[in-house]
Structure 1
Amino acid sequence: MRDHGSTIVGTLQRVPLLFLMDALLRMYATQMISTSVLYMYLAIAVFLLLLTKEQLGKIYKTIQSYHSDAKFHGMMMCFGIFLVASTVLEEVHKIADSFLLELGASGGGIVKKTCKAVIIIIVLIICPIWVVMKFHEIGFDLGIIWFLVATASWISVCIDSVGSLSVYLLLVLDTLNPEPIEHLDEIMYGIRAAIGIVHTGFGLLQICFLTWNITTIQWSWFSCIILAILVYYTYERVTNGWNEFQRRRTAVHRLSFLLNATQEQLLVSTMSVPSAFVI
Structure 2
Amino acid sequence: MGLSRAYRTATMAVLLSVTAACGNRISPVPQASSAPPPSASASPTVESAPLAADPRAALPANLRARMPRFAPPPPATKVTLPANGTAGWFSRIPTDQKVAFITIDDGWEKNPLAARLFRAANVPIALFLEVNAISDNPGHFRELQATGATIQNHTISHPVLKGRSYAFQKHEICGGADQLGRLYGKRPTLFRPPGGAHDATTLRAAHDCGMKAAFFWKETTHKGKVRFQEGTTVRPGDIILMHFRPRFVDDFLAVLNAIHKAGLTPARLEDYIP
TM-score, normalized by length of structure 1? 0.22
TM-score, normalized by length of structure 2? 0.23
**Which structure shows the bigger proportion of residues in strand conformation?**
2
